[in-house]
Structure 1
Amino acid sequence: MRVSTFTVEAPADWINSNSRLHRMAVAKLTRLWREAGHAAVARNGWEPYAGKVHIVAHIWKPRGGRYDPNNLWPTVKAAIDGVVESGLLVDDDHVHVEGPDMRHGGKGPAALVLTIREIGG
């Protein structure tokens, strides 16, 4: 089975489902993360996945405090939307994607490390 792993470097602050940002501020962050997801794939030149995939998102943060990785789903969703726009995935609906599963990656530069694993045709 085919596996692709790539890093989406943080272009902006995280989009946290617990934050109470104005919708226009959220829209701006979403656009930046979507564009970063697209760019991360575009520079690799991979062939598109035709079948179903499983996605795991490892979240890297510059500080070591406690947090809930699942609260960052809006960030991960925006980045995956960019991956779809790049053409690597057909869509991010339940027919084509299982997950994404969010995990703590570690302490380091703010980034998402996305692993896409082919699970079916």
Structure 2
Amino acid sequence: MTAVAFREMQARRTRGRATPSGGATKPRRPVDPGPASEPDALELPPLLVGLAGVGRVWTLLMPYSELLTSNQRLHHMAVHRIRKRLRADAAAVARAQLVPGLDRAAVFYALHPRPINRKRDPGNWAPSAKAYVDGFVDAGVLPDDDHVHLLGPNPVMGPPVASGAARMSLVIAELPPL
């Protein structure tokens, strides 16, 4: 590296633009939910058909937030920032809905997509669901998210939101202890 190239690199860093091309990086837009819209309620009986001994059931609609997908290629710190916010959102919603501590539960996550006419794969949003389940553990809803205490999270396609960004709702079904 020449002295001139080194000085140019230092100048870019001090301006907050440490990109190899020397151009400014494009700032991320915050998620704009648009007008407030709530998705329709999920049909719970089809979800719970294969489970034996289901007790109480809670449906938690998560707030609008940037979601993680399996297809994204983000910097690890951006993933950490999003995961941390999703975890905190899940813990706050679980506490607000007064979900008690459970010994064992099944969790389903339903993606409520934007109204775009194309196919969706709800399994791609598993990283977001994992962060939400970790938030439930933080809130004390589950003792741990291992195979003994948790069945799932299982993906389900939910009804779309009328407008705005995609949302997720989680269904927690109490299961009897093993």
Instruction: Note whether the superposition's TM-score is higher than 0.5.
Output: yes
After TM superposition, the structure 1 = structure 2 runs for residues 1-121 of structure 1, keeping only pairs within 5 Å, are 1-11=55-65, 13-50=66-103, 52-64=104-116, 65-108=118-161, 110-121=166-177
* More strand by percentage: 1
Q: What amino acid is aligned across from residue 33 of structure 1 in structure 2?
A: L
Gaps of 5+ in 1: none
Q: Secondary structure at the match of 2:158?
A: strand
User: Tell me, what secondary structure is at the counterpart of 1:9?
Assistant: coil
Percent identical across equivalent pairs? 31
The question of whether the paired residues in 2 share the 8 Å contact of 1:9 and 1:36 is answered with: yes
Given the two structures, how large is their TM-score scaled by the length of structure 2?
0.63
* 2-11 or 29-38, larger mean C-alpha shift: 2-11
Structure 2 residues without counterparts, runs of 5 or longer: 1-54
* 1:120 match: secondary structure: coil
Aligned residue number for residue 4 of structure 2? none
CA distance in 1, matches of 2:107, 2:129: 10
What one-letter code is carried by the residue in structure 1 that aligns with 2:174? E
User: May I ask how many residue pairs the two structures share in their alignment?
Assistant: 119
Tell me if structure 2 keeps the 8 A contact 1:18–1:71. Answer: yes
Larger Rg: 2
Normalization by structure 1: what TM-score? Answer: 0.90
- In structure 1, C-alpha distance between the alignment counterparts of 2:167 and 2:137, rounded to whole Å: 18
Bigger RCO (CA 8 Å, 6+ sep) = 1
Q: Tell me how large the CA RMSD over aligned residues is.
A: 1.3
Deviation, structure 1 residue 6? 1.1
Aligned-partner residue type, residue 117 of structure 1: A
Runs (4 or more) in structure 1 with deviation over 4 Å come to none
Amino acid at match of 1:79: Y
Contact 1:36 1:82 in 2 (8 A): yes
Moved more, 58-67 or 92-101: 58-67
Question: Structure 1 residue 7: deviation in Å?
Answer: 1.0
- 2:68 is paired with a residue whose SS is coil
